[in-house]
Amino acid sequence: MTAPSTAAADTRGPHLVEGRGPLSSAVVTSLRAGTPPDLGDQAVARADPWGDDLQLALYLLYELHYRGFAAVAEELEWDPDLLRLRRALEKRFLHALRAELVDAPRTVDEAFAPLLVEPVDLSGSLSHHLEKEGELWQLREYAALRSLYHLKEADPHAWVIPRLTGRAKAAMVAIEYDEFGAGRAENMHSRLFADLMADLGLDVAYGRYLDRAPAALLATVNLMSLFGLHRALRGALVGHFACVEITSSPGSRRLANAMRRCGAGTAAEHFYAEHVEADAVHEQVVRHEVVGGLLADQPELEADIAFGCVATVLLEDRLTDHITAAWAAGGTALRTPLGGT
């Protein structure tokens, strides 16, 4: 007899949240009722591409390709009306990204060069702030925000595997194998992050903090889903992945120190300590084999790889600005504070 799974509740998916404007409210209504989204022709064109409404609507539509939502029909993942809306939202988001980055580097060397050297001045670094003077409540907020990605860590990047060949594909699979625990469920990075959340007294349920996540955070997760779901953007996804791996080890070291200093718990410290070692190795593999292999096979994708990198930096900087401004003002970086939950 097979023992019942302790993760059975996760198979139902998270609960839908309420909308934050006409776009996201139409998506929520459509998902609940199974009817086409009721929106005017200009609704997407009028929306702020960086705002809560568009980013939440896009996140909800992307989530249909991950675990979906409780009480939402699974066949809606490929509903043509929802896909048309998603494409319109994507175009709005992608146009805004390209407009912000019109003068950004177009080569891999130029895009990645600033990331390969540790800055002398870390005053603008969120991980540096948390390491040196962050408080436990700030670590809890940071973990709640990052849970929207880390509880599905590596899933968006897995979409690029069938779109690669040769060296790039083999190296990408090797890195993803590590991310998924090297064959052991308890070592999956998503599981390690859930353990971190438990140490911090947070709810470990997948998607639990979606309703508290601001647009700046949603955009960082939407970016990798956008790149992952489009074969035409495979180069950008590789650029995103490489950017994350290159910058992860130093930041993780600082965050591990922050968890230790604040007494967050063994599992909380372990998640980041694990990334210090693993991502230092991954950085070399992704640069020389994934990026190098892809460029050797398809040199025409270089500008896309560079775009994926600089877009990642742009959105991470926007998120850092949001968090640090909220904390500097003595408030929460979430839409509503955590309290004791």
What backbone torsions phi and psi does residue 34 show, to the nearest 5 degrees? 70, 30
**Looking at domain 108-328, does it have CATH number 3.40.50.720?**
no
Interatomic CA distance for residues 237 and 225, integer angstroms = 9
Q: Are 134 and 262 in contact (CB under 8 A)?
A: yes
pLDDT tens sequence for the chain (341 residues)? 223 333 334 567 899 999 999 999 999 999 999 999 999 889 999 999 999 999 999 999 999 999 999 999 999 999 999 999 999 999 999 999 999 999 999 999 999 999 988 776 777 899 999 999 999 999 999 999 999 999 999 999 999 999 999 999 999 999 999 999 999 999 999 999 999 999 999 999 999 999 999 999 999 999 999 999 999 999 999 999 999 999 988 999 999 999 999 999 999 999 999 888 776 788 889 999 999 999 999 999 999 999 999 999 999 999 999 999 999 999 999 999 997 54
Q: Residue 154: its pLDDT value, please?
A: 95
CATH 1.20.910.10 intervals, the chain = 108-328
Q: Residue 122: its pLDDT value, please?
A: 78
Q: Residue 9: its pLDDT value, please?
A: 40
Q: Which residue has the tokens 């009721």?
A: 38
- A 10 A CB-CB count for 83 gives 14
Written as one letter, the residue type at 91 is K
